[in-house]
Structure 1
Amino acid sequence: MWEKQRNWWKNSGYGVSRGEKWWWNGEVQESIKRKSRAYKDWKVRHAQGAEELYREEEIDARRRVGMAIGRAAEQMNERLGTREGENDIYKISNLRKRQREDLGKLGVIKDRDGNILYRDEDIKKRWRKYFEQLLNIENENEEMGGSTEVGGNGDGDTG
């Protein structure tokens, strides 16, 4: 079941995990591995001519990534022209809308009685009450006796 769901997500263009990209393919993966090995040869093993090889592999990897993104975009555009693609347009639109939303959105919290608060107004009121209570507590420490003057020689002369 997981494999079926994973394939659906992968083919729909939304990715599976943070590291997996919708345009990622085996060609790009092999190129990135070669670049990584060349980097290790250069930085860790200090191999002769490794820096030049790494630079070549880096250029090759960037070229292959660009080509993969271009091919994937073409396939997505072709798919969007079909009946199935019309539904995907709405999914992509909603996904982009959610990505643009303010990250400060509050979500859901509970009040003092354990009731769940959903509306933004109620949540803001609860946070306001919480911080007012937190920040307006009287100082419970006893007042220190004696003078409140700072400095001086003890006879009231500060100079």
Structure 2
Amino acid sequence: MKGERVRIFKERIGLEQRSFVGDDVNQIWNHLDSLIRGVAKDMLGITSWKIHDQKEAWWWNEDVQERVKVKQARFKELICCNEQEKFDTKKILYKATKRLAKRAVVEVKDKAYEEMYISLSTNEGANGIYKLTKARERRQRDLGFVIFIKDENARVLVKDDDIKCRWYHYFKQLFNASRISGEEIER
């Protein structure tokens, strides 16, 4: 929050605050907590904690959004339908709407990428190329993708066979530490 909203926030908290003389510290804390949360909730609203995984949605325009909403509405109608005859009709409508939405997405996406590549080919677009490469590098960083690891002696292992062997010994030691056994597993 900035500017006017900060002032309004402070005023609302000041108006709703009461005197705390003689109250228990826990009561004061709980009251202030509920007061601040309530005012913040009224001023800022509530967000759902759902994560919408729409990668690369920067190129979506109003037409695409509208067609996707219509497709989703048709799908909800299809799922809620109980009668077989209506279900078949709604399924045909849903498939047609789905095709139109896909076509709109492809057309807008192609146009957006074409414009992006044209802008990247200019001198001003050179910084955009660096931003794209950094973003791609960040996406490639993954815990499942290990380029190298270290062995017991802190020596870097780079070869795939050495890395697999290190993982083998690590997990063998990890899972068999509590078990006392004289058997050696042959590899």
Normalised to the residue count of structure 1, the TM-score between the two structures is: 0.53
Counterpart for residue 146 of structure 1: none
Q: What is the aligned residue count? A: 114
Select the structure with the greater relative contact order (CA < 8 A; seq sep ≥ 6): 2
Q: Which has the higher helix share?
A: 2
**CA separation of 1:86 and 1:138: change in aligned 2, threshold 3 A:** same
Q: Which residue of 1 aligns with 2:53?
A: 18
Instruction: List structure 1 runs of 4+ shifted beyond 4 angstroms.
Output: 122-125, 127-131
Bigger shift: 86-95 or 45-54? 45-54
Picking from 56, 63, 70, the partner of 1:34 is: 70
Matched with 2:107 is: 67
Amino acid in structure 2 at the alignment position of 1:25? N
Secondary structure at 2:58's aligned position in 1? Answer: coil
Once residues 59 and 87 of structure 1 are traced to their aligned partners in structure 2, the CA distance between those partners, rounded to angstroms, is 37
> After superposition, what is the alpha-carbon deviation per residue over 1:25-82, rounded to whole angstroms, capped at 9, x for unaligned?
2211110111111122223125472222112101110110001101111220122023
Whole-Å separation in 2 of the counterparts to 1:94 and 1:123: 33
What are the within-5 Å matches in structure 2 for residues 1-150 of structure 1? 18-20=53-55, 21-46=57-82, 47=86, 49-101=89-141, 103-104=143-144, 120-121=149-150, 132=173, 135-137=176-178, 139=180
Give the secondary-structure state (helix, strand or coil) at the position aligned to 2:134: helix
User: Aligned partners of 1:30, 1:123: CA distance in 2, in Å?
Assistant: 58
Question: Please, which runs of 5 or more residues in structure 2 have no aligned partner?
Answer: 2-51, 155-166, 181-187
Which residue matches 2:185?
Answer: none
- What is the SS of the residue equivalent to 2:124? helix
The whole-number CA distance in structure 1 between the counterparts of 2:79 and 2:58 is 31
Deviation per CA, 1:108-138: give whole Å up to 9, x if none.
xxxxxxxxxxx9537995x977973663345
Match of 1:143 in 2: none
* Structure 1: runs of 5+ lacking an equivalent: 2-16, 107-118, 140-159
Scaled by the length of structure 2, the TM-score of the pair is 0.47
Structure 2 counterpart of 1:121, one-letter code: K
Let me know the Cα RMSD of the aligned residues: 3.7
